[in-house]
């Protein structure tokens, strides 16, 4: 919980006690005590107004409150002068408390940092500062501890809590040889991990850098509010002067019109707007982070509502970016025997395609002789006195073996045995399950487009599976940039990618989105990071942006409507200083409660 009892709390309580004591005192003592209570409660407001004046900021809500309460003293409304400042400070205190609570929820969610690490050295456990850890260091993480660096598990298996990064509440099972990210919490058994990052390059460090580098640029709504306040405040002051001085001179009724001018000033304070709008953005961003969506700032959250075109990279974004065997076709023998021979042939190769084939087979392999890798084509070897060729079509054709073109989505691995075509395997990049969610976005945007460096035929098949009409393949990074720039002439564009080659286009897009396992360059240039590598989070990001905008519109409409009505009543002499205080402090509190539902409700 945020700290409720602080210096502001004591100030409010002490000033209230002095004021209540004043109410039972004789007149002279009463005035002195009310003035003391007033000074105590309003000191910070005067200080802030003075500091603003030094910076050239003349008209703000602090000045309005000061003028209103000094005017109340002039017409001898001492109690009302105090209560205006008192209720204003109570409202500010409650607003700060709400912001602190929201901020603490967000910081708790992103409390990823760990300062030390338990390093294993010569079979001994040594606690060292995290900053001294190096890539390749082995460290142990015990149950209940947070993983400090990204790495590979070299011993042990356990369930880990990934909620700090992904928002996923169900623990994830981690086995040996699996990758883990800093920020995960180990839950059940000790893990020995080999570090693949340092304290400055880990996932935790990159997230913190993203948070710290949040753009200071305000959203359009906040910018309009600042411009509005610069015009609104002096107009209100001038109107109040006209009511309090001008109409007093005209009617000769100074007390009535000065009082109405004071009611007018208190009512007009823009606190509800000044506090609730930034808080709305903060709660929207905090709620997004709970769902595994890291948004850099209010400007980026606002921009989600303006996107017309979504561009998607294929490899590593729509697909997982790892090769898997999707089809095996044997002509000359049974399929199990065929894949056993092919996996045996690939035993000595470290090529990603070879690794995918070996991972697919997972059985005992046969002895291999005369192994030779042929650059850019494949390999040759002998198994069971049979000569094998495994590779692309050119490898087979160069040996005079006739084979037809095979139309499959992915990379075709041709196999010949003793100069005869024996079959083929299809190696493809596995599509993410969450990629299907892209189809549900189609109706909300002008167009969704795939941009990829892969073969156009492969991109087309992905597009057809996702029911997307627009796609472009065989693109260089500059080609992707050109397409996005072309569409930017028609509307705001979002690009979602992951590789280092996507960093330039992520940067030039109106909104750049990266997956958490993206390259450092992509993460650094992105505006939004999907912490779970889950594309369905895009839909949630758009929903949250829409809800945040709705809350802001609701608050602006409600606050201005109430103020307008009370201002009108003030001119007619119907509203009192207490109604004015409600129009300011009361409305502020209500709009804050409305905004906080962004953190509470699950959209």
How confident is the model over 244-263, as pLDDT tens digits? 888 888 888 888 888 888 88
Using the predicted structure, report yes or no on whether residue 603 has a pLDDT greater than 50: no
Average pLDDT over residues 565-584: 81
pLDDT of residue 97: 66
The encoded tokens of residue 460 equal 């087309």
Rounded distance, CA 154 to CA 477, Å? 37
Maximum C-alpha span of the chain: 118
370: enclosing H helix or E strand: strand 369-374
pLDDT in tens, 162-173: 766 655 555 788
Here the tokens at position 92 are 């500010």
SS3 372: strand
Q: Is 425 helix (H, G, I), strand (E, B) or coil?
A: strand
Helix (H, G, I), strand (E, B) or coil at 536: coil
Distances 341 to 360, 364, 423, 525 between C-alpha atoms, Å: 13, 10, 12, 46
Chain centroid to Cα 221, Å, comes to 19
User: What DSSP string describes 130-145?
Assistant: GGG--TT-EEEE-TTP
Provide, for the chain, the percentages of residues in helix, strand and coil under a 3-state DSSP scheme, each rounded to the nearest 5. 55, 20, 25
**Tokens representing 591?**
């709009």
For 21-67, the pLDDT digits (tens) are 998 888 888 899 999 999 999 998 898 888 888 887 766 667 777 87
Out of 161, 313, 527, 584, pick the active-site residue.
Answer: 313
Q: Which pair of tokens denotes residue 223? A: 């910018």
Q: Helices H, strands E: what count in the chain?
A: 21, 22
Q: Is 313 annotated in the active site?
A: yes
- Of the candidates 473, 470, 440, which has an alpha carbon nearest to the alpha carbon of residue 542? 440
Closest C-alpha among 487, 529, 540 to residue 509: 487
CA atoms within 13 A on the CB side of 130: 19
Report how far apart, in Å, the C-alpha atoms of 124 and of each of 19, 80, 119 are. Answer: 66, 71, 8
Q: Is the whole model's pTM more than 0.95, yes or no?
A: no
Return the minimum-mean-pLDDT range out of 208-217, 373-382, 504-513, 571-580: 208-217
The confidence band for 593, taking pLDDT boundaries of 50, 70 and 90, is: confident
Residue 562 to residue 584: CA distance in whole angstroms: 9
- CA 577, distance to chain mean position in Å, is 43
**Cα angle for residues 590, 593, 599 (degrees, 5° grid):** 160
Measured in degrees and rounded to the nearest 5, phi and psi for residue 482 equal: -65, -40
Instruction: Name the CA radius of gyration of the chain, rounded.
Output: 33
Phi, psi at 145, each rounded to 5°: -95, 155
Extract the tokens encoding 189.
């058994």
Q: Which domains does the chain have, with CATH numbers?
A: 7-107+215-282+545-600 (no CATH), 116-212 (2.70.150.10), 283-318+432-542 (3.40.50.1000), 320-430 (3.40.1110.10)
Helices (H), 167-270: 203-212, 220-241, 247-251, 254-268
Q: What is the pLDDT of residues 120-177, one digit of tens each?
A: 988 889 999 988 999 999 999 999 888 989 999 999 999 888 766 655 555 788 899 9
Q: 269 falls in which pLDDT band (50, 70, 90)?
A: confident
Task: Give Cα separations from 581 to 84, 363, 411, 566 (angstroms).
Answer: 6, 78, 71, 10
């Amino acid at each position: 919980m945020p700290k409720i009892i602080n210096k502001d709390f004591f100030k409010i309580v002490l000033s209230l006690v002095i004021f209540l004591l004043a109410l039972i005192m004789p007149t002279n003592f009463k005035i002195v005590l009310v003035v003391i209570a007033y000074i105590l409660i309003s000191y910070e407001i005067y200080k802030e107004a003075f500091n603003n004046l030094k910076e050239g900021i003349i008209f703000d809500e602090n000045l309005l409150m000061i003028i209103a309460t000094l005017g109340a003293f002039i017409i001898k409304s001492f109690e009302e002068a105090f209560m205006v400042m008192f209720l204003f400070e109570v409202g500010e205190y409650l607003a700060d408390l709400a912001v602190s609570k929201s901020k603490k929820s967000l910081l708790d969610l992103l409390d990823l940092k760990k300062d030390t690490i338990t390093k294993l050295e010569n079979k001994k456990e040594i606690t060292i500062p995290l900053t001294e850890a190096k890539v390749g260091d082995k460290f142990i993480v015990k149950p209940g501890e947070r993983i400090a660096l990204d790495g590979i598990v070299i011993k042990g298996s356990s369930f880990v809590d990934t909620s700090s990064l992904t928002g996923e509440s169900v623990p994830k099972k981690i086995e040996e040889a699996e990758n883990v990210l800093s920020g995960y919490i180990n839950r059940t058994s000790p893990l020995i991990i080999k570090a693949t990052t340092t304290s400055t390059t880990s996932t935790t460090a990159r997230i913190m850098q993203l948070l710290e580098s949040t753009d200071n640029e305000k959203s359009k709504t906040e910018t309009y509010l600042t411009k509005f306040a610069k015009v609104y405040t002096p107009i209100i002051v001038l109107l109040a002067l006209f009511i309090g001085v001008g109409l007093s001179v005209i009617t000769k009724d100074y007390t009535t019109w000065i009082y109405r001018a004071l009611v007018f000033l208190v009512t007009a304070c823009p606190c509800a707007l000044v506090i609730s709008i930034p808080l709305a953005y903060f709660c929207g961003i905090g709620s997004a982070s709970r769902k595994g969506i890291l948004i850099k700032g209010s400007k980026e959250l606002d921009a989600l509502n303006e996107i017309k075109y979504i561009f998607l990279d294929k490899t590593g974004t729509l697909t997982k970016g790892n090769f898997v065997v999707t089809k095996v076709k044997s002509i000359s023998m049974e399929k199990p025997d065929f894949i056993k021979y092919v996996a045996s042939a690939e035993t000595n190769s470290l090529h990603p395609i070879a690794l995918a084939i070996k991972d697919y087979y997972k059985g005992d392999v046969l002895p291999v002789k005369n192994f030779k890798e042929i650059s850019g084509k494949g390999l040759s070897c002998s198994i069971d006195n049979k000569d094998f060729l495994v590779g692309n079509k050119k490898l087979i054709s160069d040996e005079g073996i006739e084979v037809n073109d095979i139309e499959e989505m992915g990379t075709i691995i041709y196999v010949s045995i003793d100069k005869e075509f024996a079959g083929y395997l299809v190696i493809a990049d596995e599509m993410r399950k969450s990629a299907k969610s892209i189809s549900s976005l189609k109706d909300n945007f002008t167009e969704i487009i795939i941009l990829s460096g892969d073969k156009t035929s492969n991109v087309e098949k992905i597009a057809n599976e996702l029911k997307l009409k627009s796609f472009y393949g065989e693109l260089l990074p500059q080609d992707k940039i050109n397409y996005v720039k072309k569409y930017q002439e028609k509307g705001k564009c979002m690009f979602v990618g992951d590789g280092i080659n996507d960093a330039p286009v992520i940067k030039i897009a109106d909104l750049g989105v990266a997956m958490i396992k993206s390259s450092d360059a992509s993460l650094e240039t992105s505006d939004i990071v999907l912490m779970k590598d889950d594309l369905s989070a895009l839909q949630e990001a758009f929903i949250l942006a829409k809800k945040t905008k709705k809350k802001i519109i609701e608050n602006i409409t409600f606050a201005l409507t109430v103020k307008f009505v009370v201002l009108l009543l003030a001119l007619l002499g119907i509203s009192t200083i207490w109604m004015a205080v409600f129009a300011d402090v009361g409305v502020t509190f209500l709009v804050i409660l409305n905004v906080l539902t962004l953190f509470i409700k699950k959209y």
